[in-house]
Amino acid sequence: MNKKPSLSLGFLEGLIGFRLRLAQIALFDDFERAMRPFDITPTRFGALSLIDANPGLSQMQLAKAIRLDRSTLVALLDHLEKRSLVQRRPSATDKRTNELRLTPEGRLLLGKLKRRVQEHEKRMFGKLPADERAQLARLLEAVSAMKTKQVIEI
């Protein structure tokens, strides 16, 4: 009748990277569920937010900011443009680039999404005391800032 032998994590037990991956999956799961009615993923939300905060930015700038390959961004923007949330406008000064802007519909939707995302963050982190939330944010930022100096060969 023992239904949960519950596997051993073995070596994974002590790895912060593994813990972070699990947290990421839980987070994505809740986000996805909350945004399902709008068909918005974390990546799409990030793109909308950054375009909103930096109107006129280029696809390369956006791609770097959300850590997405520029080729991946093409389909994502196609999608958002098809939904009339975003507009690609050829730059007058550099004909290689597009200037990205939210449409009025895009701004309207983003407003709703922001409220949902706040609720999502509250669900996922609201149980933690404020100082621990701040600590978590600080530590995560420190990890992101770590750059690989040098890679060991074979």
Partner DNA sequence: CGGCATTAGTTTGAGGTCAAACAATTTAAC
Partner DNA sequence: GTTAAATTGTTTGACCTCAAACTAATGCCG
Residue 41 contact partner, candidates a second copy, DNA, none, CB within 5 to 8 A by sort of partner: DNA
Residue 124 contact partner, candidates DNA, a second copy, none, CB within 5 to 8 A by sort of partner: a second copy
Is the Cβ–Cβ distance between 57 and 50 less than 8 Å? yes
The residue among 13 and 69 lying less far from DNA, judged by its C-beta, is 69
Q: Which positions lie near DNA, rule CB under 7 A?
A: 41, 43, 58-60, 63, 67-77, 79, 88, 93-98
**Smallest gap from residue 29 Cβ to a second copy (A):** 7
The residue among 26 and 74 lying less far from a second copy, judged by its C-beta, is 26
Q: Which positions lie near a second copy, rule CB under 8 A?
A: 7-12, 15-27, 29-31, 33-34, 37, 42, 46, 49-50, 52-54, 57, 61, 65, 67, 114, 116-117, 119-121, 123-125, 127-128, 132-133, 135-137, 139-144, 146, 148-149, 151-154
